[in-house]
Amino acid sequence: MDPSRVVLFKSLSKTLSPALGIGWIVAPPRWTQQLHRADQVDAQPSALDQLAFAELLESGAYDRHLRSCRQRYRLRRDTLVQALAKQLPDAPVSGVAAGLHLILRLPTAVDTRAVVTAAAARSLRVADLATYHATDDHADHGLVLGYGNLADSAVIEAVRHLRDAVEECG
């Protein structure tokens, strides 16, 4: 990435809390003045929150927190992928390497909208992949599964509920 042409936007909303309202921009020096002029946000994060985050950075605690999160989410993702392979072997998984979501491709005979409803009846929230498309002329058939807010101990049971919902609708 060319540092003379690339702007990096980051925030703490997913790694600590969106309530903090702390974010930052890394931009080429030639854009700094213009960005400062454009920064007319009325609601600024509190000075105390900013100082607390600065201490987390300087002490290395934020880096330790991120490493811990990465490890925890990686283990959760791996458990989820293994459970899906076992419980729904005809439904391949993709998007595993990015973010806290993955895509479960369902057989075309399965009504994904019905699966979303059946999963919700089992207190399981999943999204129809079709809702992520701007048009109806798409070839994707599946579900988007988020695992960021799923407790580690609930992964296996959640996959069993999802399997039951898929079987009910297939």
Same domain membership, residue 95 and residue 31: no
The answer to whether the CB of 106 falls within 8 A of the CB of 142 is yes
pLDDT digits (tens, 9 = 90+) for 50-77: 999 999 999 999 999 999 999 999 999 9
Tokens of 78: 């791996």
In a domain, 96, yes or no: yes
Q: Backbone phi, then psi, for 43, in 5-degree steps?
A: -90, 105
The Cβ of residue 114 has, within 10 Å, a number of other Cβ atoms equal to 15
CB 96 within 8 A of CB 81: yes
Read off the tokens for 116. Answer: 């979303």
Q: Residue 37: give the domain boundaries.
A: 8-59
- Rounded to whole angstroms, the Cα distance separating 19 from 57 reads 18
Do residue 104 and residue 150 come from a single domain?
yes
74 and 31 together in one domain: no
Residue 163 placed within a domain: yes
Structural domain count of the chain = 2
11 or 43, greater pLDDT: 11
- Tell me if 103 sits within 8 A of 93, measured CB to CB: yes
Asked if residues 95 and 156 have their Cβ atoms less than 8 Å apart, the reply is: no
pLDDT (0 to 100) of residue 154: 96
Residue 28 resides in a domain: yes
Verify that 140 and 95 share a domain, yes or no: yes
Confidence of residue 90 (pLDDT cuts 50, 70, 90): very high
Alpha-carbon span 142 to 113, nearest angstrom:
9
Task: Report the CATH number at residue 90.
Answer: 3.90.1150.10
Q: What is the pLDDT of residues 106-140, one digit of tens each?
A: 998 999 999 999 999 999 999 999 988 877 665 67
> Domain ends where: 59, 79, 99?
59
In-domain check, residue 124: yes
Residue 165 and residue 144 share a domain: yes
Tokens of 103: 């895509």
Q: Per-residue pLDDT for 36 more than 90?
A: no
Note the pTM of the prediction, 2 decimals.
0.77
Residues 79, 149, single domain; the answer is yes
Q: Is residue 3 part of a domain?
A: no
pLDDT at 39 exceeding the cut of 70: no
Q: Does any domain span residue 64? A: no
One domain for residues 79 and 120: yes
